[in-house]
Chains A and B, each alone.
Chain A
Amino acid sequence: MPTVDLADPMRPVSTGDSGRRPTVQGARNRRRRRPLAIAAEIFMLGAAIAWLLPVLFTLYVALRPKQDTDQTGYLSIAQHLTLSNFADAWRQSDIIHYFWNSVMITVPAVLIALFLSAFVAFFITRKSSKLNLFLLMMFTAGNLLPQQVVITPLFRLYLAIPLPGFLSSSGTMYNSIFGLIVINAVFQGGFCVFVLSNYMRTVPMEMYEAARVDGASFWTRFWTLTIPNIKPALAALATLLTTWIYNDFFWAIALVSSGDRLPITSALNSLKGEFVSNQNQIAAVALLAAVPTLVIFVLLQKQFVSGLTLGSTKG
C-alpha cells in the first residue's frame, strides 16, 4: 500500500516548528538544542541559496543587454535590465518549432503510456499468477535499464521498420516523431505499470464483487469503476511523465538525424551553437526551454513529488 499521502506528500515537514511533535523531553532539551537549531537553520539557508544560485545567475545574465556585460563583465551591477534577449531568442531561432515538436512527442506519449499501463496494471492485479508476476517484473525492470543498453539494436530496428508517409516523412521509425512517441511511451509505461498496480491494490475488492454480480464486463470494471478510483495516482503520474518525457535528451539524440524534428531539450546543443557569440541569449534560450518545467515546479510540485515517491515507498 502506498504510504504517501497523495493530497499533500510533504505535509508533515512543511511548516517548521508546528510540525514538531511536542514531547516531555522536548521542553527539557529546548535550551540545549537552541544552538543546534540555529546551526541547522543557517546550514539549510546556505544550502538553499547555493542551490538557487546557478539558476538565478543565469536569469541575471539573460536579463542584461549584451553591451552592458561586454563593458563591465558578468559579475557587475546591472545598468539596464531587459527582456529583449528573450524576445530575440524567440524570434531569431527555431525555438517555437522545437517547442512544437516537444508537444507533439510529450502529449501523445503521456496519454498512451497512462492508458496502456493502467489497463495492464488492472489486468495484472485481477488475479495472482506466475504469468502476471512475470509481466509485472518485465514492465518494472524494463524501465530500470539504462537507455544506452538497448540503443544499438534499437537504432538498427528503427531503421528497419517502415512507416507510411503520413506517420513519418523519413519512411522509417528512425528519424520520426512517431518513433520518439513510441519509445518514450513504452519506456515510461513500464514504470507506470509498477506504480499503478501497487495503487490498484488499495481499491476495495467489494466494489468489484457487486459489479460482477451485475454482469459488468472487464472493460466496464476497468473504465467506469477503476479509473475514477485511481485518478489521484493518474494525475501524479501524468505530471511526472510530462516532465520526464519533456526533459528527455537521449532518445532524440540517438534516434533522430534531422535537426528540424528534435524536441527542445535535445535541440539545446544546436541552439547553444547558434548563439555561440552571445551568452546573454544562450541564457535566455535555456530559461525559455525551462519554462514548462518551471510552471510544473510552481503549480504541480505536490503531484510531481507524489508521483516520484509512489514508485519508491512500498514496503
Chain B
Amino acid sequence: MTQTSTRLPGSHQRHDRVRRYSARDRIVISVIVGLSSLAMIAFVWGPAIASVVLSFFRWNGVGGLHLSACVASGAVPGGANGCVYGVQNYVNAATNYPPFWVAVRNNALWLLVFMLFATPLGMFFALVIDGGVKLGRFYQSALFLPVMLSLALIGIIWQFMYSSNYGLINSVLGRTSNANLIDWLGNPKINFWAIMVEASWRQAGYVMVLYLAGLKSVNPALKEAAAIDGANGWKTFWHVTFPTMRPINIVVLVVTVIETLRAFDLVYITNFGNNGLELLSVLVTNNIVGEIKRIGFGSALGVVLLLISLIPITLFLWQMFAPKKQED
C-alpha cells in the first residue's frame, strides 16, 4: 500500500527511455503536456501570484497600472487609480473595513465547528457502520446523499426547514406568527449557527465516506489481536485503528480546512453573505461582482485566503510526495 510516488520500477533504464522518444513523440508530448501546463499556469497559478502583485496596487480596473505611488485624487489626473498603494489595502482591510474581522471570525468558527463536530461525527458514523449494523448500506446512502447535492441546492432545501413563516422547524415549535417567530436565517445572532448545521449536514457524510475507505485498509487481524488482549472498543480504536489510519486522517484534516476556506455557496444563496454570514471568500467576490470594482483591495483579501490555504496544501503535498522511510 505504501509506494513512493517519486520512484518507479525500472527507472534505472532512464537512458533507453529518453532515447526512445521519436521526433513525432516529442511533438505530441510538447503540445499536450505543454498546453495543459500552460493552462494550469495561466488560469490558476498565474492569477494566484498576480493577486499578490495586484494587492499592492489601488485599481478599479479602468485604465492601466503604473508604477508611481498613489496621490490624492484630483491632484494628478488618474493619480489615485492604477497606482502603487503599498500595504495600504491590507491596512484598510484590517482597520477600516468592519466586515473583514467578522469574516475572519466566521471562517475560524466554521473551522472549529468542522473540527470539533462535523468531522468527528462523520468519523463516528463510519466506525459504527464499519463495526457492523443491520441496515449499514441504507445508513450509508442516507448520510451520503447531501454530498451529491450542490451546496447552492442545499441552501435552498434548508430554507424549507428554517423559513420563519412556513419552515418545518418553526411549524413544529408553533412559532410561525409574526409575533413570536424565530428568524433562523435572518437574525445575525443565530443565522451563522443555522448555516453551520447545513454545512455539517454535508461535511459529516463526506468525512464518513473517506473514513469508510480508510477503515477498509486497516488489517482486521490487528483489531482482533487487540480484542484478544482484552482491549475495549475505545482502546482498540484509539491505540490501533486511529494510528493506522494516519494517511486518511491527514487527508480528512486537509479536506476539512480546504472546505472551510472554500465555503461560499451556502451563505451566498442564503443572503449573499451579509448580516452575520460574512466570509473571506464572499468579501473577495464582492469586489468583482458589485458595481464598484476594487481589484487591488479584492486581491489583498484573496492573498489572506491564499496564505491560509498554503498551510493545508503544504501538508497534503508533504503527506503525498515526501519520500517514505520504509516500503512494504
- Asked if A146 and B305 sit within 8 Å, CB to CB, the answer is yes
Within 8 A of A (CB), among B11-34: 11, 14, 16-18, 20-22, 24-25, 28-29, 32-33
Instruction: Decide yes or no whether A201 CB sits under 8 A from chain B.
Output: yes
* Distance in angstroms between the alpha carbons of A168 and B29 in the assembled complex: 29
Instruction: Decide yes or no whether A45 CB sits under 8 A from chain B.
Output: yes
Instruction: Decide yes or no whether A140 CB sits under 8 A from chain B.
Output: yes
Interface 9-residue window, one of A82-90, A92-100, A122-130, A226-234: A122-130
Query: Which listed residue (A4, A127, A149) contacts B309, Cβ 8 A?
Result: A149
Nearest B-chain residue to A157, judged by Cβ: B47
- Asked if A148 and B295 sit within 8 Å, CB to CB, the answer is no
Q: Besides A74-B171, A127-B8, 5 other CB < 8 A contacts?
A: A44-B135, A148-B305, A151-B288, A218-B21, A269-B152
Given A51-B143, A150-B51, A219-B28, A253 and B289 contact (CB-CB distance below 8 Å): yes
Residues of B within 8 A of A69 (CB): 166
Task: Give the interface of A toward B (CB within 8 A).
Answer: 1, 3-5, 9-10, 12-17, 19-21, 23-25, 37, 40-41, 43-45, 47-49, 51-55, 57-58, 61, 69, 73-75, 116-117, 119-120, 123, 125-128, 133, 135-142, 144-157, 159, 182-183, 185-187, 189-190, 194, 197-198, 201, 205, 209, 212, 217-219, 243, 246-250, 253-254, 265-266, 268-269, 272, 279, 282-283, 286, 289-290, 293-294, 296-297, 301, 304-305, 308-309, 312-315
Interface 9-residue window, one of B35-43, B79-87, B109-117, B183-191: B35-43
Secondary structure at chain B's binding surface: helix, strand, loop or mixed?
helix
**Across the A-B interface, how many residue pairs have beta carbons closer than 8 Å?**
365
16 contacts between A and B (CB under 8 A): A3-B216, A9-B213, A40-B133, A55-B157, A74-B166, A120-B36, A140-B317, A150-B48, A152-B302, A187-B44, A189-B40, A218-B21, A247-B149, A250-B265, A266-B152, A305-B213
Residues of B within 8 A of A309 (CB): 209-210, 213
Query: Which listed residue (B134, B247, B258) contacts A314, Cβ 8 A?
Result: B247
Q: Shortest Cβ distance from B314 into chain A, in angstroms?
A: 9
Q: Shortest Cβ distance from A226 into chain B, in angstroms?
A: 14
* Distance in angstroms between the alpha carbons of A290 and B152 in the assembled complex: 10
Residues of A within 8 A of B35 (CB): 116
Nearest A-chain residue to B17, judged by Cβ: A127
Nearest A-chain residue to B304, judged by Cβ: A149
- Asked if B43 and A136 sit within 8 Å, CB to CB, the answer is no
Nearest B-chain residue to A193, judged by Cβ: B36
